[in-house]
């Protein structure tokens, strides 16, 4: 890999068609994985954060996701499932693994707020901070309701409404049929009616 | 009052947590990933063999040993 390609990898400035080439390069040289990491890090981090509602744990799970992706990159082939869906699948499994180990008790008991303390610099920043706190409080209520669903329903709901994935994409990520995705979403929404 | 499905869907879309800026951790995380990858590669190849392969190999060695013992036992009769 040339220096200019490595620099492009670091800055993320490369065309959409380059992804297969970056994947092949990363299989040979792990440092080339940085392009894919920069491209998908924020997406995966935000997905995990919305699922787990705990900043530090979301960072750890995101790290584990990319480490596993790099470790198993040699197994990835373009067989109808895009790379981003494969990454999301790893992230979903990592989140569910944490929940199985800790029995779903993390976010609600260990963290009250995602936000750092406000320094009170200006009135505008104070208003913005208050708006952010209100948004966070509203999401927390949603998150608590979603947490009461079965894990497979939580995955489907998160991917559909928080990540705005299509039914087809969700089916690819979760490795299930589109009809099963629709069933999961329908049942999850029916359950949420009783809570929200 | 129980909401209908469309209201629930709208609520989920509108109240989702907005995207958080993760730029401040991205660089640290990348270095951590590279470091873990280097450590993983330094591990002896023997430790990377899957457990089921070890089990199968053990069973094969056991079977071969039993066969040899049977042969030896047979040759003394």
- Residue spans of the domains in chain A: they are 15-112, 125-196
Please check whether residue B74 lies inside any domain of the structure.
yes
| Class of domain A15-112 as given by CATH | mainly alpha
How many structural domains does chain B have? 1
Residue B58, C-beta contacts closer than 8 angstroms, at least 6 positions apart: none
pLDDT at B69 over 50: yes
The whole domain housing B76 covers 49-77
| Model pLDDT, residue A109 | 42
- Measured CA to CA, the distance from residue A90 to residue A170 in angstroms comes to 13
Q: Which residues of chain A lie closer than 8 angstroms to B3, CB-CB?
A: 193, 196
Task: Indicate if the pLDDT at residue B12 is higher than 90.
Answer: yes
Please give the Cα distance from A28 to A131 (Å, whole number): 47
pLDDT tens-digit series, residues A4-46: 454 554 555 555 568 888 898 998 888 899 999 999 999 999 9
Is B75 inside any structural domain? yes
What is the distance between the alpha carbons of residues B22 and B26, in angstroms, rounded to a whole number?
6
Q: A178-193 vs A167-174: helix axis angle to the nearest 10? A: 100
pLDDT over threshold 90, residue A128 = no
- Asked whether the domain spanning A125-196 has the same topology as the one spanning A15-112, the reply is no
For residue B66, being part of any structural domain is answered with yes
Complex confidence, ipTM: 0.76
Domain A125-196 in CATH 1.10.10.10? The answer is yes
- pLDDT for position A137: 85
Say if residue A61's pLDDT is above 50: yes
Q: Is there a domain that residue B26 lies in?
A: no
B33 to A70: CB separation less than 8 angstroms, yes or no: yes
Domain assignment of residue B25, yes or no: no
CB A166 within 8 A of CB A88: no
Name the pLDDT band for B76 (thresholds 50, 70, 90): low
Q: Which of A192, A194, A195 to mutate to test the interface with B (most CBs of B within 10 A)?
A: A192
Alpha carbon separation from A153 to A54, A61, A160 (Å, rounded): 20, 20, 10
B chain contacts of residue A62, beta-carbon cutoff 8 Å: 22, 29
Predicted model pTM = 0.76
């Amino acid at each position: 890999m040339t220096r200019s390609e490595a620099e492009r990898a670091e800055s993320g400035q490369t065309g959409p068609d380059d992804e297969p080439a970056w994947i092949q390069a990363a299989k040979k040289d792990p440092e080339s994985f940085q392009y894919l990491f920069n491209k998908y890090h924020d997406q995966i981090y935000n997905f995990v954060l919305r699922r787990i509602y705990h900043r530090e744990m979301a960072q750890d799970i995101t790290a584990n996701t990319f480490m596993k992706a790099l470790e198993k990159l040699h197994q990835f082939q373009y067989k109808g499932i895009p790379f981003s869906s494969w990454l999301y699948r790893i992230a979903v499994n990592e989140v569910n693994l944490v929940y199985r180990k800790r029995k779903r008790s993390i976010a609600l008991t260990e963290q009250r707020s995602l936000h750092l303390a406000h320094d009170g610099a200006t009135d505008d920043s104070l208003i913005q901070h208050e708006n952010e706190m209100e948004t966070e409080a509203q999401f927390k209520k949603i998150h608590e309701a979603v947490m009461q669903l079965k894990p497979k329903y939580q995955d489907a709901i998160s991917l559909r409404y928080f990540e705005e994935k299509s039914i087809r994409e969700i089916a690819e990520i979760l490795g299930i049929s589109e009809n099963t995705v629709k069933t999961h979403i329908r049942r999850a929404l029916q359950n949420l009616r009783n809570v929200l | 009052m129980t909401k209908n499905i469309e209201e629930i869907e709208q609520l989920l879309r509108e109240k989702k947590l907005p995207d958080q800026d993760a730029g401040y951790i991205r660089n640290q995380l990348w270095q951590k990933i590279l470091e873990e990858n280097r450590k993983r590669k330094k591990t002896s190849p023997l430790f990377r063999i899957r457990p089921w392969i070890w089990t199968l190999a053990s069973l094969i060695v056991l079977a071969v040993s039993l066969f040899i013992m049977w042969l030896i036992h047979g040759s003394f009769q």
